[in-house]
Structure 1
Amino acid sequence: MDVLWMIVLTVGLLGSHCEGAISCKNENGDNVDWFILYKKPAGFDYVYIDSTDQNLKENNKVKPVNHQAGFLAHTLKPYFERSSDFEFVAYNDQPPKGKEEKEKKTVSSTYGHSKGVVMMDTTNVVWLLHSTPNFPAGDESNHFYPDTGKTYAQIFMCVTLKSTESAQIAQHLKDINAYIFKEHKHKKLKDSSNNPRTLPYHGDLLSAGGSQFKRFVKQVSKKRDPKEGDLYVTIADTLQSDLYIQTWRSVSKDPKKRPLSETEKKKLVTITSVKTAAGEWSCGCDHSKWCVSESKDWMCVGDSNREPSQFERPGGALCINNPSVAEAFRKIIDNSVPVTDSVSATECDPAPPKRPKVDSTG
């Protein structure tokens, strides 16, 4: 009997330890291995898919993306509380204005066009990648989502990893030259290696729940050559798949400044509009950066647009290998064009909204 009670006690302690570890959360505050949240433009509602229910569906309207008890606020709770055994870095090349700053910071283009939050305790790492400027806007659950984040569609990908993966994430942040605007006891999330890595490269990650992910770091092209500096060329050739791609883009009449429509091996297809359970919108009002493979099971959230100016900036992506996710994102593609450089302003959006100056590169 004593042995039985010891077993019960041990299992109980282990269970409570796992329950207390940080994790991506759903809108009920329950742990999930991963989630992807896609916010509509001109509002705070969204569609989402997560590890517990792999169907892309609309939020319940009660908890929009900026709600203090929703997906993001629940996930960021450790960020707000900052316990003694916890560390984090928040990075954003368009950071929020600090309390002592009269104007928003202008971040050098030598930094990656990257945005995210990485949190870590003794058990897990939570990596939240996103496309939203000025996020997180504050340190409290009732004021963390920026008002400026309402205008355009935005995307968030969260994955729960074991703490042993912290070195890989630290390496990734260094190689994309992420602009860290806030940090807390981030010793394990800082890569101090002086050994340069050959770019581009990719690496495999396994979530805490056993899901397969792959991270990419792209090459920098000072000549703005898309064959070298386009993140999506790297992804397509590595995954050996044609890609459907959604990123912010301006229209150039100069063929030399247009992104490639094909790599040497694969086709790059521009998404011009999507149709989701939360609404329909065109690429002219979509600030998200994501792609999905045409026939394989990969869906990626990136940090770079298909713009010549971004070919010379560092950047990367995180991709999930999941047939349900890939199929869900293929299904919301309402319109696309196989030749990327044929997209015009009219096709993207008949009347694109005026963009804030702080977000001039998307």
Structure 2
Amino acid sequence: MTTMLWTVFCFIFPGALSYACMDEDGQAVDWWVAYKLPKLKTLADDNVQDGHAYAYFTAKDVSYNWGLDKPGYVARPPKNGCMLSSKSIGDFESLIGRTLEPLYSNASKSQFALLYNDEFPNGTVSFTKGHTKGAVVMDDHGSGFWLIHSVPHFPPKPEDGFGYPASGRTYGQTLFCVSFAGGESPETIGKQLTVNEPFIYFKDIPAWVQLRFPSMFEAAGGKKTMSAGPASQILELFTSSGMSMTSFAKSNLFNQDLYSELVAPALRSELIAETWRHGVLRQICRQKTQFLRAGGTLCFRERIVWLWFDAILSGIEDCPVVRKNVIVAESASEALGNLHFENDSQDKTVICSDGLHEKQLECKVLNSLNVVPISEEVYGHCLAKESLFG
């Protein structure tokens, strides 16, 4: 999907903060995004050939100022070109290994940890729980990180030690880590996980979690959205630096595509989403089989990261137009007068007239498509034939 971020504060983490997303130097960062390259025998790099190579981008690789769209906003060039790491993704010194280190080496009794994956490290698979993979780890101050990823059978349980599974080597994979520092963030994540219905294979829940973060406690305990609960939920999540991100969650009750029916309308943006061919971007694919599975994604606004992902796309296949709540009318006046039309998913194509064509300049064209709002008061959109506009 197209990934964008909002303007944020500059932030320097205190040296004592070990429960956070880490870079390869062992320094805490607000967030990082990593792309595990597919196994490619045609390239000379050993890590690429065996499926352990990854490229990455961290919050430190972007210079912020207060106006994202104003002159003076610059991005610091990646330190090594495309940010292809020299380390294997399974190394403890990789940014993934550095981040997950508290899970395997700290083992504090006051540490909270939650690991979930619809494909367990031991091979157990769920087709009914959420199609979601991730880890939440935090200390007793409520500071920690949320790792969202697409890798099956990962990460290993603490007693098994850190490593990268052979099952994750062939295809491309994505990993997205966000640091948080107490406040409402743990509760926000917990609320989203109760909707996502994760398949949990490891949890370590100290007593303080239930008192301070009841939603996280319930999520770790396996509580899920019941029939009376929300089919979808959109919440704002704040990182350690105060950066605002948007978290999207859907349960199996949503029964629709996550990206076209929840994310795109909320962001008011076109999206590029990857379905299951050779990798999943974020936690859930864009397939009809996923409509009945819970899942979610986390979005933020950052032009440089968007450009980074956009540059690796080899092509885009346009989605078929799905028309909902379309007014059936022979003229603009008839459409404007039709304030009470059916709310269903039937393909009700508008029969366009010259009257509608004349109104085009008065309406805002959404998402560069020929979908034109007739009125603020009309609960739907009028789909016009392209030939009339061109």
State the TM-score bracket (shorter-chain normalisation). 0.5 to 0.7
Q: Work out the CA distance in 2 between the residues paired with 1:244 and 1:340.
A: 13
Q: Work out the CA distance in 2 between the residues paired with 1:140 and 1:26.
A: 24
The match for 1:115 is 133
The match for 1:287 is 279
Q: 1:142 to 1:63 in 2, by over 3 A?
A: farther
- Select the structure of larger CA radius of gyration: 2
Within 5 Å, give how 1:183-332 maps onto structure 2: 183-185=203-205, 187=209, 188=213, 189-191=216-218, 196-218=228-250, 220=252, 228-248=256-276, 284=277, 286-289=278-281, 301=282, 303-332=283-312
Quick one: which amino acid aligns to residue 250 of structure 2? Answer: K
Indicate conservation of the 8 Å contact 2:13/2:29, yes or no: no
Deviation readout 1:258-313 (Å, 9 max, x if unpaired): xxxxxxxxxxxxxxxxxxxxxxxxxx4x3222xxxxxxxxxxx3x21122211001
- TM-score w.r.t. length of structure 2: 0.63
Indicate conservation of the 8 Å contact 1:138/1:145, yes or no: no
Cα distance, 1:231 vs structure 2: 3.8
Cα distance, 1:63 vs structure 2: 1.2
Q: Work out the CA distance in 1 between the residues paired with 2:142 and 2:258.
A: 35
**Which of 81, 103, 109 is the equivalent residue of 1:84?**
109
The match for 1:8 is none
1:339 paired to 2:319: yes
Q: Which has the higher strand share?
A: 1
Indicate conservation of the 8 Å contact 1:46/1:58, yes or no: no
Cα distance, 1:320 vs structure 2: 1.4
The match for 1:125 is 144
**Which of 49, 59, 75 is the equivalent residue of 1:51?**
59
Q: How many residues are treated as equivalent by the alignment?
A: 268
Q: 1:88 to 1:213 in 2, by over 3 A?
A: same
- TM-score w.r.t. length of structure 1: 0.68
For 1:89, what is the secondary structure of its paired residue? strand
Cα distance, 1:58 vs structure 2: 4.0
Q: 1:241 to 1:215 in 2, by over 3 A?
A: same
Q: Work out the CA distance in 1 between the residues paired with 2:253 and 2:230.
A: 13
For 2:129, what is the secondary structure of its paired residue? coil
Indicate conservation of the 8 Å contact 1:63/1:69, yes or no: yes
Quick one: which amino acid aligns to residue 195 of structure 2? Answer: D
Deviation readout 1:91-114 (Å, 9 max, x if unpaired): 0010111xxxxxx2232x331000
Q: CA RMSD, aligned part only?
A: 2.6
1:163 paired to 2:182: yes
For 2:273, what is the secondary structure of its paired residue? strand
Cα distance, 1:332 vs structure 2: 2.5
Q: Work out the CA distance in 2 between the residues paired with 1:72 and 1:47.
A: 11
Indicate conservation of the 8 Å contact 1:231/1:304, yes or no: no
Q: Work out the CA distance in 1 between the residues paired with 2:138 and 2:297.
A: 20
Q: 1:232 to 1:130 in 2, by over 3 A?
A: farther
Q: Work out the CA distance in 2 between the residues paired with 1:308 and 1:339.
A: 13
Q: Work out the CA distance in 1 between the residues paired with 2:296 and 2:116.
A: 14
Deviation readout 1:171-208 (Å, 9 max, x if unpaired): 11111101110011253432378885423221111111
**Which of 143, 159, 163 is the equivalent residue of 1:144?**
163
The match for 1:34 is 31
Percentage identity across aligned positions?
26
**Which of 194, 198, 202 is the equivalent residue of 1:174?**
194
Q: 1:112 to 1:73 in 2, by over 3 A?
A: same
Indicate conservation of the 8 Å contact 1:167/1:191, yes or no: no
Quick one: which amino acid aligns to residue 291 of structure 2? Answer: F
For 2:246, what is the secondary structure of its paired residue? strand
